[in-house]
A and B are shown apart, each in its own frame.
Chain A
C-alpha cells in the first residue's frame, strides 16, 4: 500500500523552507520579564512574612499576593510558553483563566 506519513501533521511546526517567520520576543525581553518575576516573588515574600493578624481576619494584602501570583503566571504563559505568538483563541483562554482564577480565589478568600 502507499506509504503514508508516519508523523502527525501538527498545528505548529517551525517552517522549514518558508519565508514566513514567527517572531518571538527577544532574549533581552525575556530576561527583563524574568527579573521582574524574581522581584515580584521577593516582594510577595516580604509582604507575606511581615503580615500580622488574627486567624480568620481578611487581610487586603493577601488578595494582593493572589493577584501578584496570577499575574506572574500570566507573564510566564505569554513570554515563556510563547503564547505571545500563539493563536489568539488560545492566548485568550489562558488570559481569561488567569483573570477568572484571580477573581475567584480573591472572592473566596474575602467572602468566606
Chain B
C-alpha cells in the first residue's frame, strides 16, 4: 500500500511555508508591529491612505498563509490516524480546527483590505481596522483545541516507541494555554493584553510559530520512521497494514495446510 511519503513531506513543508509567507507578507503590509488600539480615527485613516499599495499587496499575499495552514493540518491528521486507528475523534477534530484556523488569517485580512479599498470617514476606517485586529489576535478559539487534541493524542499513544515524543504532547497542551490570554484582548486598549501587547501579540506569535517549527520537525521524523518501517516490513500498529499482514499470514497458513494435506 502506497503511503505517499513524498506527498506527506510536501504537505508537512506547508507549515514552514505558511510561517515564511505570513511574516513576509505582514512585513510588506507594515502590520508586523500592530498599530495601537489607542490611535485616533484620523491616524488610522491616514495609515490606510498613505500605505495603500503595500497594505493591499501584503495582505493579499498573507491570505495564502491561511490555505497553507490547512495543508499541514491535514498531514497532522494523517499521522494522528496512525495513533488512533479507525476510531479517531481527535484526528478529525484536529482537521476541523485547522480548517477553521484558515478563517483566522483570511477574514481579518479582508476587513483591512476593505479599509484600503476606498477613502472613507475616519470613524469607519477605525471600525474596519478594529474588526481586523480584534479577531486576528483574539481568535484563538480553534487553535487552542487544535493544540490540545494533538497533545492528547500524542500522550495517548500506546506504542513502545511513540510516534511523537511524549514531551511534544506536554508541550502542545502547554502552548494551548499560552494562546489563551490573547482571547481577552477585547477588554484592553493598552497594556500587555491589548492587541498590540507583549502577551496578546508577541507571545502569541512566538508560541504559534515556535510550536509550528517543532511540529514540522517531528512530522518529518514521523514520516521518515514510517518509511523505514515500511521498507523493513516492521510497520506496526498501522491498522490497514496490520490487516494486510494478518491476511497475508492467514494465506500462508492456508497454503501450508494445503501442502500438508495434499
A and B touch in the complex (CB under 8 A): yes
Instruction: Please report which residues of chain B, range 142-192, place their CB below 8 angstroms from some CB of chain A when the two chains form the complex.
Output: 158-162, 166
Flag if B158 contacts A1 (CB, 8 Å). no
Contacts of A8 in B (CB 8 A): 162, 166
Query: Can you report 12 residue pairs joining A to B where beta carbons are below 8 Å apart?
Result: A1-B236, A1-B242, A1-B245, A1-B246, A4-B158, A4-B159, A4-B160, A4-B236, A4-B237, A6-B158, A8-B166, A9-B160
Given the complex of chains A and B, what is the CA–CA distance between A81 and B245 in angstroms? 46
Report B-chain residues with C-beta under 8 Å of the C-beta of A9. 160-161
- Chain A interface (Cβ < 8 Å from any Cβ of B): 1, 4-6, 8-10
Inter-chain residue pair count (beta carbon < 8 A): 16
Return chain B residues, CB-CB under 8 Å to A4. Answer: 158-160, 236-237
Interface residue tally for chain B (C-beta within 8 Å): 11
Alpha-carbon distance A10/B162, docked complex (angstroms): 11
Q: Which residues of A contact B166 (CB under 8 A)?
A: 8, 10
Task: Determine the residue in chain A with the shortest Cβ distance to B246.
Answer: A1
Further pairs besides A1-B246, A9-B160: 5, Cβ < 8 Å: A1-B242, A4-B158, A4-B159, A5-B160, A10-B166
In the complex, how many angstroms separate the beta carbon of B82 from the nearest chain A beta carbon?
A: 14
- Give, as a whole number of angstroms, the nearest-CB distance from A112 to chain B: 14
- B162: which A residues are within 8 A, CB to CB? 8
Question: Which residue of chain B has its CB nearest to the CB of A1?
Answer: B242
Contact code string B210-249 (vs A, CB < 8 Å = 1, else 0): 0000000000000000000000000011000010011000
Q: How far is the CA of A9 from the CA of B162 in the complex (A)?
A: 9
The 6 closest A-B pairs by CB, nearest first: A5-B160, A6-B158, A4-B160, A8-B166, A1-B242, A4-B159
Chain A residues lying within 8 Å of B245, measured Cβ to Cβ, are: 1
Give Cα A10 to B155, complex, Å. 12
Residues of A within 8 A of B237 (CB): 4
Residue of A nearest to B155 (CB): A8
Q: How far, in angstroms, from A1 to B159 measured CA to CA in the complex? A: 13
Q: Tell me the smallest distance from the CB of A43 to a CB of chain B, in Å.
A: 31
Q: How far is the CA of A10 from the CA of B161 in the complex (A)?
A: 10
Minimal Cβ-Cβ distance residue in B for A8: B166
C-alpha gap A5/B158 in the complex (Å): 8
For the complex, what is the distance from the CA of A6 to the CA of B158, rounded to whole Å?
5
Q: Which residues of A contact B160 (CB under 8 A)?
A: 4-5, 9
